[in-house]
Amino acid sequence: MIGIGSRFTFTIVDLSVHPRRGCRLVPPRNVDLFSNVAVPADGRTGRRYPRYVTEPRVRTEIEGPIAYVWLNRPDKLNGIELDMLQGLLDAAAAIKRNRDVRVVILQGAGESFCAGLDFAAAGKKPSRVVRFFVPNPFRGTNLFQQALWTWRELPVPVIAVTRGHVFGGGFQLAVAADFRFTTPDCQWSILEAKWGLVPDMSGTVPLSELVPADVAKRLVMTGEVFSGQQAADHGLATGVADDPMKPAMELVDALVARSPDSVSASKKLLNRSRRGGLRGAFGRERRYQLRMFRSPNTKVARKAGMTKTEPNFGPRRFR
């Protein structure tokens, strides 16, 4: 793995202010994966939260209930190579283990979300490419696919905030998120067609859910480049704004105001219902609802609704 430390090491960064409003970085230091560091209290709740940063190719900062994740190759427009794929897998696994995380903001460092697969960088390690391409017989995905699909499988909502470029593998990562906010001039493309290829990093499944079949075929077959505004018109983008972080954070506030268990169960229920039959969908509705009846966070939500007070939810229990 390129970068400081091993895949079991996190780089700790002390942030003096909220990352949405700018931050002052203190020189990083490496600690064990399971360590954390105390930081100033969150301005809205008064609680103190650990913040930690994962390996360089994918940077993660966790603040309270929000995990901010950056693709971190800004000098290469966040082009995807093998270490970034591994970083995406590791970051998602760490977030999944953290029951206090309730929503993820996924974005690219610098001026671009992601310009797609960096063939030159990935091709330097052909034997590793082969290992990444071979599918797991039990899971059904190879590592190129799983590194992106894992964000779809996270038990919390994932919001992609895009600008610059959303090309190829970057497009497939964006549609693996639950919501996408983009700038109007951001360039989108399923660029594989330009190289005589097909999208093969899990993106065909969410694409077929988001747009009509003829639109999906046109975008995949032609590789045409279209704007963020057109992405919204197609149904690929949730919203368009000059500052897409603003509507993204408005959605974050709405999500964290609800029970983390019901939000998690709703994501899983809707994702699975899209791909299964009616009998399975109705069965999942009943099973998940029974789990909601037993959840302490459901009681918190009910009490807050009856008393018209702000709910104080505990950690997410649903997974």
Average pLDDT of 207-211?
94
Please, are residues 114 and 166 in contact by the beta-carbon 8 Å criterion? yes
* pLDDT tops 50 at residue 106: yes
Q: pLDDT, tens digit, for every residue of 140-184?
A: 888 999 999 999 999 999 999 999 999 999 999 999 999 999 999
Cα distances from 317 to residues 27, 104, 177, 254, 301, in angstroms, run 35, 17, 21, 19, 14
Q: pLDDT, tens digit, for every residue of 291-318?
A: 877 889 888 888 888 898 999 999 888 8
Beta bridge partners of 103: 66
- The rounded distance, in Å, linking the Cα atoms of 280 and 194 is 39
* The model's pTM: 0.77
Polymer length of the chain:
319
Kind and range of the H or E element at 83? helix 82-97
Q: Which three-class secondary structure state does DSSP give residue 180? A: strand
Longest CA–CA span in the chain (Å) reads: 61
- Specify the DSSP class assigned to residue 25: B
**Segment of 15-24, 163-172, 191-200 carrying the highest mean pLDDT:** 163-172
Q: Encoding tokens for residue 213?
A: 């079949």
Please, are residues 104 and 67 in contact by the beta-carbon 8 Å criterion? yes
**Hey, what domains does the chain have and what are their CATH numbers?**
9-256 (3.90.226.10), 260-307 (1.10.12)
Q: Encoding tokens for residue 278?
A: 């009616």
Q: Could you tell me how far CA 110 lies from the centroid of its own chain? A: 17
Q: Encoding tokens for residue 181?
A: 């906010």
- Specify the DSSP class assigned to residue 42: P
- The rounded distance, in Å, linking the Cα atoms of 195 and 192 is 6
Share of the chain above pLDDT 70, in %: 81
Phi, psi dihedrals of residue 203, rounded to the nearest 5°: -70, -20
Sequence-distant (6+) residues with CB within 8 A of 21 are: none
* pLDDT tops 50 at residue 55: no
* pLDDT tops 60 at residue 248: yes
